[in-house]
Amino acid sequence: MAELIAAPQAPAQIAPPAEKSAGYWRSVWRRLRRDKVAMTAGTILVLIFLMSLFATFLAPSDPYARNVANRLAGIGTPGNPLGTDDLGRDMLSRLIWGGQLSLLMGVAPVFIAFFFGSALGIIAGYAGGLTNTLIMRTVDIFYAFPSVLLAVALSGALGAGLFNAMFSLTVVFIPPIARVSESVTTQLKSSDFIEAAKASGASALTILRVHVLGNVLGPIFVYSTSLIAVSMILAAGLSFLGLGVQPPFPEWGQMLNALRNAMYVQPLVTALPGVMIFLVSISFNLLSDGLRSAMEVRT
Amino acid sequence: MFAYAIQRILYTLPVMLGVSVVCFALVHIAPGDPLISILPPDASSELQERLRILYGFDRSYVEQFFMWLARVLQGDLGTSIASGRSVTLEVSRAVGNTLMLAAVATVLGFTLGCLFGFVAGYFSNSPLDKLASAAAVFGVSVPHYWLGIVLVIVFSVGLGWFPSSGAGPGGSANWRFDYEHALYLVLPAITMAVIPMGIVARTVRALVADILAQEFVIGLRARGLGQFHVFLHVVKNAAPTALAVMGVQMGYLLGGSILIEVVFSWPGTGMLLNTAIFQRDLPLLQGTILVLATFFVVLNLLVDLLQTALDPRIKR
Amino acid sequence: MSDATPLMTVKGLTKHFPIKGGMLGRTVSRVHAVDGISFDVLRDETLGVVGESGCGKSTTARLLMHLIAPDAGEIIFDGRRVGSRDMTMASYRSQVQMVFQDSYSSLNPRLTIQDSVAFGPQVHGVRRRDALQRTHDLLDRVGLDPARFAARYPHELSGGQLQRVNIARALAVRPRLIILDEAVSALDKSVEAQVLNLLADLKKEFGLAYVFISHDLNVVRYISDRVLVMYLGRVAELGRAEDVYAAPQHPYSAALLSSMPTGDPDRRVEKAALQGDPPNPIDLPGGCRFHTRCPLVGTMCRGTEPELARIARDHDVACHARIPGSGHRPESKERAA
């Protein structure tokens, strides 16, 4: 039988192709950049992240330094531009420092849940059959709890604390991510190019790695980012209930709780920590909306 | 339809079993010996041992679970450690208040959400749409417990229009249908309504825009039907989904009311949970969660059945 | 190279899809998608497969590729049973390839053209560098300048270009048989002709055999050496293309061919040859499955299913009316009215 393809004459010929073409993510980024709302939200988030990261340099004073003589000072007090809390600590500094734990509590559980949830969902979707039934029916059980209730139940039973709260939030976000991952994967599994890959004799693992992951992780990730907004509100909510970060460490939800009794004295100062939670949450919502519509359009 | 209904009802049984396993496990994932939390600190080791056997803590988890489940099915959720009263009694007292609050908030949120959603979907991409969409994003992004505090600051502390906490004058523990009590309901209900408002508005907007773009609506317009008739068609087609969203949201509000109840000291299941958490009253925590999760599952079931019955496209 | 044994022999291949229903997801009935078909594919030949939509053509293609597991039957490739130790699935799949109808969705949208084409050889152990070299040669061979197209993504190419990529992808593992499942059906007529010519050239150049599945009778006649007519998951007729097209023996083939669009005004279709829709494949009629629509229907057609039988040289048909001595007697003429 004749050689199917003529032997390569000049193996060195494999030069990078002359015409470069934009990858999928680059075109998403191009569309996202034109979305003013999403870009503004993204900028705000970047600024808040940087602010928290560099709290040591940015905070004007020690967030733990109490000053009983200067309790509940109003906004615009000299030395305390955003006033002081019930123990006389500088609000501006505590808000800046508070970003660290608030963002950690709000964002990290979603990322951890993204890891576990997508793994579960992709395995369930790709394997199908009994594996799918076992995984998805278990997921359904956790889905049968409203998210706030599940978070409160778990951290209530485990006891207050940053780690327990983050663990509870992770458990809350695994089921929805697993569900989305499963449906995206199941849908993709029946597409022709997966069949074609099977027809070329590739193993299930190779197909998963080369053809499935690249196509499902994007949509799952975007869905997960839309959960960060909820997670921020829930995380701060747990701290607000006293289940998350414990005093004296600054965290926005916990600060809001501590200042609750001061609303008759300094209503504006009381509202400040909530403004931060709101700002981060709405920015994540707008950014993930923008990301979704930037990904939807197929050129 | 009937076969589907039976199938759907049967499917909730394993889910409920799973839910009860999770609730049962709550007590056991809690750190420490579950017995310690029941006993006074100076209890003799003899008494400890007697109680351990009495409560079945010496048996395997599986046996304990089925003992517990058998009691739960007879309506016995155990005894509250803090108050010494039956958990069933405590929960049944509180659940009415939460239901009242959640129902009012759902209706309010649904009405506003439909309004915003319709306006946004109907006048797609107009300034009105932008405004309504902004309200929707606000609804899903605002930390509602913070919004509650802001409303209290403005309307109770500032204007003095509404009371800031409780369910009635003089620390009344039960909500009643009268003007005095109604005033206490206003702020928590508005606060709570914000979340379903945002979600319903988003859903309805997408639905309306979708329906308006469909060919049959263009056909209606082409046949010269008036705006009102077109509107009726849109309502008829959007209703099943919108109602389903409303039902599910009501379930979320029931379960998620804890933060709002704490802000307004509303004597419902959320406050009960809050008390249970801080007094480490695990039987009370477990019982309340089980009741709320059951409400949620049953509500989801009803919504599903209702939607199937309403939507002619779903034939099962 | 020329060998008397067929390249591939299919024996009694069967696939029934269960329909789940009821409360516990029991199987309530089955779709008889492919119901015991047998045929050979000879070396260097193009076997055309025709039939109405829903007759099991695509299921057959997927069964041949073993993308779905058959309920019964076996495939012998090059004298060795597929799935046995002599012919493992991996080695079978490097010798048999498939091109799908939808040229866009059969390419991974996140991979460049060259990555998609080079995937197959890499799976079979070719080093990436060599696989890319092979890819560039093949792209060039199917008429796509590698310098322009190799690093592009599927959404940047036209349907015809994409199908050329799919052909290159199939060729990349150096197969001996390619299954073309409606591979040109979605293309414009002018592009279709170009791709068909390309396929014919490649066949000669690489010594390939094709199983060419299509609902387009003209295209099948143009490209095929032999034609297999399918009706509801069974082989109705199998023979040399010129024989089948000139004198179809099975009444179904005859009806199908007479409905064929033609440019010749003298051969215009006068009346619809096929009446009614094909029966529901879930609830098949007993006996010959064509008897509900057959002009030659006889009493025995309702009771006994005809087997494929040789009626002339290289010509098989499954019809009682055509098999000598079958005892077939046509019913009264009333039914035909």
pLDDT (average), residues C196-202:
90
A229 touches chain B (CB under 8 A): yes
Alpha carbons C115 and C150: distance in angstroms, whole number:
8
Nearest to B140 among A146, A157, A285 (CB): A285
State the pLDDT confidence band at A7, using cuts at 50, 70 and 90: very low
Alpha carbons C19 and B3: distance in angstroms, whole number:
17
pLDDT at A40: 93
Tell me which residue has tokens 């709302």: A37
pLDDT in tens, C188-198: 888 888 889 89
Tell me which residue has tokens 């089921």: A175
| Interface probe with A: pick from C63, C92, C106, C122, most Cβ of A within 10 Å | C106
Half-sphere exposure of A292 (CA within 13 A, CB side): 13
CA distances from B179 to B102, B187, C173 (A): 19, 14, 81
Sheet holding C72-77, edge to edge: C26-41, C8-21, C72-77, C80-81
Between C24 and B144, the higher pLDDT residue: B144
User: What is the helix (H) or strand (E) element at residue C74, kind and residue range?
Assistant: strand C72-77
**A56 exposed, middle or buried (CB, 10 Å; 0-12, 13-18, 19+)?**
exposed
pLDDT at A12: 37
CATH of A30-295, one of 1.10.3720.10, 3.30.1280.10, 3.40.50.10140, 3.30.300.30: 1.10.3720.10
What percent of chain B is modeled with pLDDT above 90? 5
Nearest to B137 among A256, A274, A286 (CB): A286
C-beta atoms of C171 and A4 within 8 A: yes
pLDDT at A113: 95
C23 touches chain B (CB under 8 A): yes
User: What is the helix (H) or strand (E) element at residue C20, kind and residue range?
Assistant: strand C8-21
Secondary structure (DSSP) of C191-238: HHHHHHHHHHHHHHHHT-EEEEE-S-HHHHHHH-SEEEEEETTEEEEE
Tokens of A210: 């080369």
State the pLDDT confidence band at C79, using cuts at 50, 70 and 90: confident
Residue C126 β-bridge partners: none
Count of positions (residues) in chain C: 337
3-class DSSP state of C86: coil
In a domain, C150, yes or no: no
| CA angle in degrees (0–180, nearest 5) for B6-B11-B13 | 105
Residue B207, pLDDT > 70, answer yes
Residue A80 β-bridge partners: A77
Among candidate residues A247, A224, A251, the one with its CA nearest the CA of residue A236? A251
Between B267 and B122, the higher pLDDT residue: B267
The reported pTM is: 0.83
> Over the range C288-316, which residues count as b (16 or more CB within 10 Å of their CB) and which as e?
bbbbbbbebbbebbeeebbebeebeeebb
pLDDT (average), residues B40-48:
73
Segment 108-127 of chain C within 8 Å of chain A by CB: 108-112, 116, 119-120, 123-124
Alpha carbons B86 and B73: distance in angstroms, whole number:
15
Contacts of A171 (CB under 8 A, 6+ apart): A113, A142, A150, A154
A260 touches chain B (CB under 8 A): yes
State the pLDDT confidence band at C27, using cuts at 50, 70 and 90: low
C-beta atoms of B258 and A233 within 8 A: no
In this structure, the strands spanning C72-77 and C8-21 are: antiparallel
Between C332 and C12, the higher pLDDT residue: C12
pLDDT in tens, B54-107: 767 777 788 888 888 888 888 888 888 777 788 888 888 888 888 888 889 999
A21 touches chain C (CB under 8 A): yes
Residue C315, pLDDT > 60, answer yes
In a domain, C114, yes or no: no
Tokens of A159: 């006891």
Among candidate residues C213, C208, C211, the one with its CA nearest the CA of residue C185? C213
Residue B215, pLDDT > 80, answer no
State the pLDDT confidence band at C1, using cuts at 50, 70 and 90: very low
pLDDT (average), residues C254-260:
81
Taking residue B90's Cβ as centre, other Cβ atoms within 10 Å add up to 24
Measured between beta carbons, the chain B residues lying within 8 angstroms of C22 are 3
pLDDT (average), residues B21-38:
77
For the domain made up of B88-315, give the CATH fold: MetI-like fold (1.10.3720)
pLDDT at A2: 38
Q: What residue numbers bound the domain in which C186 lies?
A: 8-95+175-266+273-336
| CA angle in degrees (0–180, nearest 5) for C304-C306-C310 | 155
pLDDT at A4: 38
pLDDT at C262: 66
C-beta atoms of A17 and C120 within 8 A: no
Residue A31, pLDDT > 60, answer yes
pLDDT at B222: 74
In a domain, C181, yes or no: yes
Contacts of A193 (CB under 8 A, 6+ apart): A211, C105, C106, C107, C108, C116
pLDDT in tens, C93-139: 889 999 988 888 889 888 889 999 999 899 888 899 999 999 999 99
Amino acid, res. C16: H
Secondary structure (DSSP) of A46-114: HHHHHHHHTHHHH-SS-TT---GGGTTPPTTBTTBTT-B-TT--BHHHHHHHHHHHHHHHHHHHHHHHH
In a domain, C130, yes or no: no
A43 touches chain C (CB under 8 A): no
**A129 exposed, middle or buried (CB, 10 Å; 0-12, 13-18, 19+)?**
exposed
Measured between beta carbons, the chain A residues lying within 8 angstroms of B157 are 263-264, 267
Average pLDDT, chain A: 85
pLDDT in tens, A185-233: 998 888 889 988 988 888 888 999 989 998 899 889 888 988 999 999 9
C-beta of residue A110 within 8 angstroms of C-beta of residue A173: yes
User: What is the helix (H) or strand (E) element at residue C132, kind and residue range?
Assistant: helix C128-141
Measured between beta carbons, the chain C residues lying within 8 angstroms of A200 are 93-94, 97, 119-120, 123-124, 169, 173
pLDDT at A117: 95
Q: Where are the domains of chain B?
A: 19-73, 88-315
C-beta of residue C316 within 8 angstroms of C-beta of residue C308: yes
Measured between beta carbons, the chain A residues lying within 8 angstroms of B137 are 282, 285-286, 289
Phi–psi pair at C261, nearest 5 degrees: -65, 140
pLDDT in tens, A132-183: 989 999 998 998 888 889 999 999 888 888 999 999 999 999 999 999 999 9
pLDDT at C268: 57
C-beta of residue B150 within 8 angstroms of C-beta of residue B194: no
Measured between beta carbons, the chain C residues lying within 8 angstroms of A195 are 62, 65, 67, 98, 100, 106
pLDDT at B83: 78
pLDDT at C110: 86
pLDDT at A181: 94
C43 touches chain A (CB under 8 A): no
pLDDT at C94: 86
3-class DSSP state of C310: strand
How much is the ipTM here? Answer: 0.85
pLDDT at C293: 81
**Chain B: nearest CA to C26, how far in angstroms?**
13
B271 touches chain A (CB under 8 A): no
- Of A275-284, B131-140, B170-179, C305-314, where does mean pLDDT reach its minimum? B170-179
Secondary structure (DSSP) of B168-231: SGGG-SS--SSHHHHHHHHHHHHHHHHHHHHHHHHHHHHHHHHHHHSHHHHHHHHTT--HHHHH
**A65 exposed, middle or buried (CB, 10 Å; 0-12, 13-18, 19+)?**
exposed
State the pLDDT confidence band at C24, using cuts at 50, 70 and 90: low
CATH number at residue C81: 3.40.50.300
pLDDT at B128: 80
Measured between beta carbons, the chain A residues lying within 8 angstroms of C102 are 192
Alpha carbons B77 and B91: distance in angstroms, whole number:
9
pLDDT at A232: 93
pLDDT (average), residues C269-295:
72
Residue C251, pLDDT > 90, answer no
Q: For residue A147, how far is the Cα from the chain centroid?
A: 16
Taking residue B32's Cβ as centre, other Cβ atoms within 10 Å add up to 10
pLDDT in tens, C263-280: 666 655 555 566 667 777
- Of B24-28, B45-49, B147-151, B186-190, where does mean pLDDT reach its minimum? B45-49
- Of B161-170, C174-183, C293-302, where does mean pLDDT reach its minimum? B161-170
Residue A6, pLDDT > 50, answer no
**Chain B: nearest CA to C39, how far in angstroms?**
41
Q: For residue A291, how far is the Cα from the chain centroid?
A: 13
**Chain B: nearest CA to A148, how far in angstroms?**
5
Residue B33, pLDDT > 70, answer no
pLDDT in tens, A94-140: 889 988 999 999 999 999 999 999 999 999 999 888 999 899 999 98
Between A111 and A259, the higher pLDDT residue: A111
| Interface probe with B: pick from C20, C23, C28, most Cβ of B within 10 Å | C23
Between A296 and C235, the higher pLDDT residue: C235
Measured between beta carbons, the chain A residues lying within 8 angstroms of B143 are 232-233, 236-237, 253, 274, 277-278, 281
Nearest to B277 among A138, A140, A243 (CB): A243
Residue A33, pLDDT > 60, answer yes
Tokens of A118: 């997508």
| Interface probe with A: pick from B192, B259, B269, most Cβ of A within 10 Å | B259
Q: For residue B85, how far is the Cα from the chain centroid?
A: 25
pLDDT at B205: 85
| CA angle in degrees (0–180, nearest 5) for B143-B144-B148 | 125
